[in-house]
Amino acid sequence: MAHEVPWSNLKLASPVETYWKEYGLPLKGEYGGQCYHLTCTRGSADWYNKSSGRYFCDPCARAINEICLAQGQKKLCELHV
């Protein structure tokens, strides 16, 4: 019988996350922080994705919207004003 390790659900902060928190900066996927796309490191994430609830940079958000429209779906990302 498998035993659940009590700390198995613990999420450790990455060095980048620790740095951003230390200086009071928004984190990846938060408004004004880094784009939430996995491989993107652009700042100024100001496009809100209604599906994920995270923020993306302009190029990534536009690419997501283009894919949605090409599949006959509604745009997921909206510019947060």
The answer to whether 46 and 61 are in contact (CB under 8 A) is: no
Q: pTM of the full predicted structure?
A: 0.70
**What pLDDT does residue 20 have?**
62
**SS3 for 24?**
coil
Q: 28-56: per-residue pLDDT in tens?
A: 899 998 999 989 989 889 999 999 999 99
**What pLDDT does residue 81 have?**
78
**Phi/psi at 77 (5° precision):** -105, 135
Higher pLDDT, 2 or 59: 59
Is it the case that residue 2 has pLDDT exceeding 70? no
Higher pLDDT, 78 or 11: 78
CA–CA dist 24, 55 (Å, integer): 17
